[in-house]
């Protein structure tokens, strides 16, 4: 039976993966995978990682030295993986491209509704039997304009929900979907027209800090910004400045660019050294959740099922359908791409 090291695990991860303990022997580590903990993977046949594990060149070199050539991400994003180093070390990397777009899109709207109708503040008040309505005024979502950045599976579910509220939806995506019936516009138009902006795109070198001082200048006064994708899409200092200057009306974040050593952990007895995060959390028009948008039973089950399927394909020497490959991304002539030939890259 193949032995699998699973990093950055919580109780709910174990419950989902233990359903497949008849196929693989899982060893669960609370630690993040990084240069200091990669030695824990020694003796295993593959590793399973999550969003904040560090799969840089040093870690991938060490996995190669330990004869570990299978890395399985139990998430969709892969900005934490050096794909060039993975290819150089002949390490196969596979992800879970979709597990529950509904979970994340619904969480994004939960943030919108909570911020708009001040549910978080009303809850705290009513716990003290304070039923005063001062400062709890929201606005109708109906007929407001929401700008959706990214129209992948999650973005499309979010759009459906927005239309259910009677909202006007405008979209930006570098790869627009043909015949989708969406109103695609430029990023500048998203910034200028939107009452609410919701991010549903992967983090790339091109869109790192796409929400910054310059883009905020273009936005409506009082705009609401929602991010359930990746923290690095937003310049956190610029976001804080926008809130202080009252350019931004409200912010809902399920991700944060410096979340790696904070999110998923109880830090309630610690002094947080991140002044930007501390100030953001202290503001009454900001809600930050701990990268939990994906956290539904359905999503956890789908993540485990797809990860195990990826491992099945890897260990049986089949084409890994969800593999990420630096070589394939760089091939100009797609006819010569190994994956298009139904072969592995190496």
Which positions are annotated as active-site residues?
230, 259, 291
Q: Which of 129, 180, 128 is nearest to 151 (CA)?
A: 180
Provide DSSP, 163-200.
HHTT-EEEEE-SSPPTTS---B--HHHHHHH-SEEEE-
- The contacts found for 261-269 with CB under 8 angstroms, 24 or more apart, are 261/32, 261/52, 263/52, 263/290, 263/291, 264/8, 264/10, 264/52, 264/290, 264/291
Provide DSSP, 68-115.
--EEEESSS--TTB-HHHHHHTT-EEE--S-S-HHHHHHHHHHHHHHH
Contact 33, 8 (CB under 8 A): yes
What region does 150 belong to: left with phi over 0, alpha with psi -120 to 50, or beta?
A: left
**DSSP classification of residue 149:** E
SS3 264: coil
Over its C-alpha atoms, the chain yields an Rg (Å, rounded) of 21
Contact 219, 188 (CB under 8 A): no
d(CA 100, CA 30): 24
């Amino acid at each position: 039976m193949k032995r699998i090291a699973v990093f950055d695990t919580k109780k709910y991860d174990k419950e989902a993966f233990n359903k497949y303990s008849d196929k693989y022997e899982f060893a669960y580590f609370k630690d993040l995978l990084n240069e200091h903990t990669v030695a824990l993977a020694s003796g295993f046949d593959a590793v399973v990682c999550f969003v904040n594990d560090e799969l840089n060149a040093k870690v991938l070199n060490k996995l190669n030295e330990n004869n570990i050539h299978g890395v399985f991400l139990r998430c969709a994003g892969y900005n934490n993986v050096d794909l060039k180093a993975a290819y150089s070390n002949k390490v196969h990397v596979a992800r879970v491209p979709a597990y529950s777009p509904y979970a994340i899109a619904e969480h994004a709207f939960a943030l919108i509704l909570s911020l708009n109708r001040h549910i978080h503040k009303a809850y705290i008040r009513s716990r003290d039997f304070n039923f005063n309505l001062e400062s709890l005024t929201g606005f109708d979502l109906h007929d407001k304009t929401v700008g959706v950045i990214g129209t992948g599976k999650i973005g499309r579910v979010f759009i459906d929900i927005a239309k259910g509220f009677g909202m006007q939806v405008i979209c930006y995506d570098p790869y627009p979907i043909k015949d989708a019936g969406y109103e695609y516009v430029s990023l500048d138009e998203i910034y200028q027209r939107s009452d609410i902006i919701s991010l549903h795109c992967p983090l790339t070198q091109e869109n790192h800090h796409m929400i910054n001082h310059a883009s905020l200048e273009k936005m409506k006064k009082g705009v609401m910004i929602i991010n359930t994708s990746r923290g690095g899409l937003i310049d956190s200092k610029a976001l804080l400045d926008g809130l202080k200057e009252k350019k931004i009306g409200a912010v809902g974040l399920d991700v944060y660019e410096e979340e790696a050593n904070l999110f998923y952990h109880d830090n309630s007895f610690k002094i947080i050294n991140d002044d930007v995060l501390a100030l953001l959390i202290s503001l009454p028009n900001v809600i930050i959740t701990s990268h939990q948008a994906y956290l539904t039973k359905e999503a956890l089950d789908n993540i485990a099922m797809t990860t195990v399927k990826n491992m099945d394909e890897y260990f049986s020497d089949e084409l890994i359908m969800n593999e990420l490959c630096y070589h394939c991304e760089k091939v100009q002539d797609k006819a010569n791409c190994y994956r298009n030939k139904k072969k592995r890259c190496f």
